[in-house]
Structure 1
Amino acid sequence: MVAIVLLCSSQSILASVFLSQLTQLEEIRLINFTSFSAGLAELEKVKSSFTEEESQYFALLKGYEKSLAGEYEQAFIYLAPLIQSTSSGIYHFRAKVLAVNLYAISHDYLNAFLLLGELNKELPFIDDAVARAQAVGNIAMLYNGIEKYEIALFYSEQFLNSIKDQQLVCRVLVHKLTSLANLKKNSDFLSEIDHGIATCRKSKEKIPEIIMLRDKMQVLLHLERLSEITSLYQSISEDVVATGYPMLIAGILNITAQAYLRAGDLSNAELLAATALRQIEHTSINFVQTELYKLLADLEKRKGNFEAALAYFEKHSALEKTYQDDKTNQQLAFHLAEGELEVKDKRIALLDKDNELLSLQKNLYEHEVKQNRLLLLLLFSVLIIASFMAYRGMSGRKRFKKIAEFDQLTGISNRYHFNNLAKVALDYCELNAKPAALILFDLDYFKTINDNYGHATGDWALQQVVKTCRNFMRNNDVFGRIGGEEFAVVLPGCHADKAALLAEICRDAIATIDTTESGYQFPLSASFGVSSSDISGYQLKQLLADADLAMYSAKQSGRDQIATYTHLMDTAD
């Protein structure tokens, strides 16, 4: 236990002494919770002598103490001032990290994921390795909690690849192993678990070590290696109880009870299951509770006590429904938060596009200065922009959002935004006597894909097509989704032959997309129409109409090909 030496007069205690004691207490937070809590109680008597930094550190540790004790509302009382602080210091960041976990435990998943989004943006700027480890650990734990194990595994591995401190490795490796266990990657798990346990044991990180042992027991249960589970439990039972962590204790008791039940040892199974239930009788509904009631129902059934078995099964069913409802709420909150964060990102993307437009307007202005004949056009453009901004202000936020939105499915411009950007690009080309071309393409037999494989598969196909085609486009090309499965590209500075070459590259790339990733195997192809300013002029409406005629010709000729617009097509039509 960390010895805390307090002098009678708080005025004589040096600030460095308090900070050192707080640091020592944090080091045993996950090793000896009883000593950790007792040390905080002693320091609370002299907290009036703390500096601002010490007060923040103390509040953070009290938040950890209350959260480990299951007193989540009390934990938030200590954390709230740190989170709301205008300071962006390390304690502010670490309080957010802990709050994410507490929100999740308290079933306030929307706030958990919104705060998680903030942490993801702040994380690259945090130099403190301990804080980074805690952030990654809590992020991974949250994703594991909502069964997004692949995402949790990604965060864990990314951190582990960049750190060598064994204590921090232990604190994050535990979450990686939990992900592997739940993904049923048993061979990967078993190849790393003993090294992970040894690392935590060497670092004296008792709780992560016990969590790893719990996960090992769960994997062994899945593999029906029952005797290994019971032997392991007998060797660690005292250490498990010493953690003082009810959910962890109950989880290990549940797995061991399951092993005893499968081995036919009903007496030990019943004893451990009852002990586990007592550990978590005052906690919120969780997976361990549902498993325990199911186990007890099965046990009573084996003993021939059908009435007791029915009673336990009814409790299991009620808890299972509540637990599954909670899981549904988790997923809903995850997607709601994801949507809100995506809207924020889209607004940032809009500002980037506005900056691009401003850059383009600057170029136009420089050309107009050199060519006096364009001065009138510039003044007129400024008048139009001013009028548009005034109109946008009067029409309100809803109108602004409509103009700004991108296509939610593919991430490229929607029809409205495409038209605006395309007209700017075409005007620029016309003013500077540069060529311009337009590609219009439509996916072949797309309705058949939706009908046969579902709209989710159709959406996947649209996303893959856009992702594939964007690889071959320049930064100044204007790419938009202008219909269900119809796309258009404006190519400033390109003649028809260059546009046709790009269309052929895209057509070939679409045809080679591996659709098995969607869960189904089906052909993907598209028909392309190409028009250019050489024949169709610089008006977007005319370029689209002529490209549409060419695309119709490609479809009539058998689909999965390109056609370039000529005047002969008007005659054929």
Structure 2
Amino acid sequence: MRRLQSRFWSWPVLTAIAWIVLLQSGHAAAPITDPAAFLYQAESLDTKDHPQFVRMLQQIHHEAIRLTPEEQWHLHYLDAWETMFEGDYAKSEAQLHDVIDHSGDATLATKASALLLTNLAANRRYEEAFALANRATTGLPGVKDPKARFMLLMHLSQMLDLAGQTDLAIQYARMMESAIPSGETLCRPLYFQAAALYNGKRLTSSSPELQRAIDTCVAAQEPIFANAMWLTLGSLYLDENQPGKAMALLNQIAPSIRINHYYPHMLSAQVQRAQAYAKLGNDTEARKAALAAISMGNPGDISIWLKEAYEVLYQIEKKQGNAAAALAYHEHYVIQDKGDLNDISARTEAYEVAQQHMLAQKLETESLSKQNNILRLQQALNTKAVETSRLYIALLLVVLVSIVFWVFRLKRSQLRFKELSCLDGLTGIFNHQHFISEADRTLRLLEKKHSAACLVFIDLDHFKQVNDTHGHAVGDAVLRRTVALCQKQLRPADLFGRLGGEEFCLLLVECSREQGMVIADRVRMAIEALPIEADGCVVSFSASLGLASTDTSGYGLQRLCREADAALYRAKRGGRNRVVADTEDGSLAEA
């Protein structure tokens, strides 16, 4: 029932948390003897000790007249951060544009641009936000300041997570982990990795990634990030039908949430409390908590929290037989759900992803709308003929079920036929024809982008001897084991196909010749290192690999195949169980 955008990880929470961008140090001393150092110290406390951050801003504003132009722009940037934290997006956007356009400080402009990504997305101006993200990605290699680079990587990870690109979001978060500036900890990189895993539905309450993020952020004294992770854990407890654990966790973190007075956390915790009470069967407290959450919102607000609060109220009233109240709450739920769906649709259109996710939400909304129609009919039973109404409903449901069942069967047959036509029946990877077609298409795209690729031929050594000695069943097991070992070494974008018999082929995308040799040798060592057991004996096997690179052979698939085949032949002649690749002068080199 909870999907990608549900609970704590709705976009408003991600946007608010993404404002948390700078580095920890300590509290400022009372007298301002060095304004530049004072500003950086204040910046480091934005979320670690937000009340102190605000007090320091107020203090330095009293002495703003004696600041240098550079220090005044730094203060202007911190004002924009605080304005955004308070939720005034329009004012903050103007301040950020002012810093970007007029400060003349490249590092400060990079930080402001990163914050502006979040600001635009918070206002659902996704087209502008995505265009800015593309520009920021292009300019990322030129960002030399460690803190600004760290901040930009963080916001790009968030934007990719927002687009449903889980693997890329994790990749940027790991880039943060490998480029931590002085004074920073692993809290934020681990947080954004856990966030992407959660939105990608790859996280459970027992996931080590979540616990590591919690422990790290607690140790780093980052209360907002720590609370974010705790609330994620509470959401997972509710998803896993453990309301008792969720309630205990909410009670544990309630003081910290109160002290930090962070609106998204306050609202998220209130909604989770309502959901936990509802699952525990305490409808009275669940209703109180849900109504309290709704009272925290502003008129006209559209958010995932309000949607879930109205859903709790709707389910309670429906269970207690209060049809009129249930109908009223359901109408509010539909408004929130449609607003949420529209937001998802806008992001999906901008990124051209998550189509299946939208369909799932739409089907859920339609299902609840049918229940709403039933409630309306129940109200009309006092004045209309009961028998006729039930007959119409039954006929409508039969027609709808028949149509849905027919469409489902047709779609499943189409998908199954497409899968069988593209995959090898034994190993489940691309068959010869589909691999060649996909490889040719991919090479043409890479040629346009001037990106390198490597084509690798794999041939199992003495495979006929395995079949003759142990039988074809063991031979098939060897083939399947080979495929499994290779897949562990490959990246999501790489292509893998079976050419026939014991011959396989890899297309390593955006991979130089040197990188291809490293990956190919990892594949070879993995195959050699893991024999299989059959009929009480151990069957060892190895592979020879030939590699051709677009760096030396160009993007023509036929030539790459010839070069890779020649390299494979050389590997076989040279004693097998080795990797051989073409070189720039046309000769062959061994790994």
Tell me the TM-score range normalised by the shorter chain.
Answer: 0.5 to 0.7
- Partners of 2:97 and 2:447 lie apart in 1 by 49
Asked if residue 466 in structure 1 is aligned to residue 483 in structure 2, the reply is no
- Partners of 2:201 and 2:292 lie apart in 1 by 28
Cα deviation for residue 471 of structure 1 reads 9.4
**Unaligned ranges ≥5, structure 1:** 7-12, 337-448, 476-505, 516-573
- Partners of 1:25 and 1:204 lie apart in 2 by 16
- Partners of 1:5 and 1:231 lie apart in 2 by 40
Aligned to 2:281: 264
Aligned to 1:359: none
Contact 1:300 1:308 in 2 (8 A): yes
- Partners of 1:192 and 1:143 lie apart in 2 by 19
Q: Deviations over 1:355-393 (max 9, x none)?
A: xxxxxxxxxxxxxxxxxxxxxxxxxxxxxxxxxxxxxxx
Letter in 2 for 1:249: M
SS in 2 for 1:173: helix
Letter in 2 for 1:268: E
Aligned to 1:101: 118
Change (3 A) 1:144 1:295: farther
Cα deviation for residue 91 of structure 1 reads 0.4
Asked if residue 224 in structure 1 is aligned to residue 199 in structure 2, the reply is no
Cα deviation for residue 187 of structure 1 reads 5.2
Contact 2:302 2:339 in 1 (8 A): yes
SS in 2 for 1:127: coil
Contact 1:290 1:316 in 2 (8 A): yes
Asked if residue 311 in structure 1 is aligned to residue 286 in structure 2, the reply is no
Change (3 A) 1:128 1:88: same
Cα deviation for residue 112 of structure 1 reads 0.6
Aligned to 2:272: 255
Higher alpha-carbon deviation: 223-232 or 461-470: 461-470
Aligned to 2:146: 129
The 5 A counterparts of 1:180-219 are 180-186=197-203, 190-219=207-236
Cα deviation for residue 288 of structure 1 reads 1.6
SS in 2 for 1:98: helix
Contact 1:241 1:249 in 2 (8 A): yes
The 5 A counterparts of 1:257-336 are 257-281=274-298, 284-335=301-352
Contact 2:203 2:210 in 1 (8 A): no
Asked if residue 151 in structure 1 is aligned to residue 168 in structure 2, the reply is yes
Q: Deviations over 1:377-424 (max 9, x none)?
A: xxxxxxxxxxxxxxxxxxxxxxxxxxxxxxxxxxxxxxxxxxxxxxxx
- Give the TM-score taking structure 1 as reference length: 0.57
Change (3 A) 1:316 1:88: same
Letter in 2 for 1:90: T
Change (3 A) 1:168 1:119: farther
Contact 1:4 1:39 in 2 (8 A): no
Aligned to 2:196: 179
Aligned to 1:50: 67
Q: Deviations over 1:512-533 (max 9, x none)?
A: 7899xxxxxxxxxxxxxxxxxx
Higher alpha-carbon deviation: 218-227 or 311-320: 218-227
In terms of Rg, which structure is larger?
1
Letter in 2 for 1:144: D
The 5 A counterparts of 1:311-390 are 311-335=328-352
- Partners of 2:278 and 2:183 lie apart in 1 by 38
- Give the TM-score taking structure 2 as reference length: 0.55
Cα deviation for residue 254 of structure 1 reads 1.6
Cα deviation for residue 69 of structure 1 reads 0.7
Contact 2:157 2:168 in 1 (8 A): yes
- Partners of 2:171 and 2:70 lie apart in 1 by 34
Asked if residue 235 in structure 1 is aligned to residue 238 in structure 2, the reply is no
Contact 1:133 1:172 in 2 (8 A): no
- Partners of 1:301 and 1:123 lie apart in 2 by 53
Cα deviation for residue 32 of structure 1 reads 2.8
Match of 2:38 among 14, 17, 21: 21
Q: Deviations over 1:452-491 (max 9, x none)?
A: 759xx99999554322689999x9xxxxxxxxxxxxxxxx
Change (3 A) 1:459 1:206: farther
Change (3 A) 1:78 1:241: same
SS in 2 for 1:30: coil
Letter in 2 for 1:172: P
Dislocated runs of 4+, deviation >4 Å: 1-4, 449-454, 457-463, 468-473, 506-509, 511-515
Cα deviation for residue 158 of structure 1 reads 2.8
Aligned to 2:522: none
SS in 1 for 2:124: coil
Aligned CA RMSD, in angstroms, stands at: 3.6
The 5 A counterparts of 1:389-428 are none
- Partners of 2:205 and 2:312 lie apart in 1 by 29
Letter in 2 for 1:103: L
Change (3 A) 1:472 1:152: closer
Contact 1:166 1:203 in 2 (8 A): no
Aligned to 2:384: none
- Partners of 1:471 and 1:171 lie apart in 2 by 34
- Partners of 1:55 and 1:251 lie apart in 2 by 36
More helix by share: 1
Between the two proteins, the alignment pairs up a number of residues equal to 361
Q: Name the % identity.
A: 20
Change (3 A) 1:58 1:453: same
- Partners of 1:154 and 1:254 lie apart in 2 by 32
Contact 2:99 2:109 in 1 (8 A): yes
Higher alpha-carbon deviation: 99-108 or 264-273: 264-273
Cα deviation for residue 209 of structure 1 reads 0.7
Change (3 A) 1:160 1:313: same
- Partners of 1:95 and 1:469 lie apart in 2 by 38
Change (3 A) 1:62 1:71: same
Contact 2:28 2:41 in 1 (8 A): no
- Partners of 1:211 and 1:271 lie apart in 2 by 23
Cα deviation for residue 197 of structure 1 reads 1.6
Cα deviation for residue 30 of structure 1 reads 0.7
Q: Deviations over 1:39-88 (max 9, x none)?
A: 21232232222212211211111111011111111111221112224835
Letter in 2 for 1:465: D
The 5 A counterparts of 1:443-482 are 453=418, 463-467=438-442
Cα deviation for residue 107 of structure 1 reads 0.7
- Partners of 1:53 and 1:189 lie apart in 2 by 48
Contact 2:498 2:505 in 1 (8 A): no
Change (3 A) 1:202 1:508: closer
Contact 2:205 2:236 in 1 (8 A): no
SS in 2 for 1:186: coil
Q: Deviations over 1:165-214 (max 9, x none)?
A: 68442122211111112222235962122222221122211111111111
SS in 1 for 2:41: helix
Contact 1:247 1:279 in 2 (8 A): no
The 5 A counterparts of 1:432-443 are none
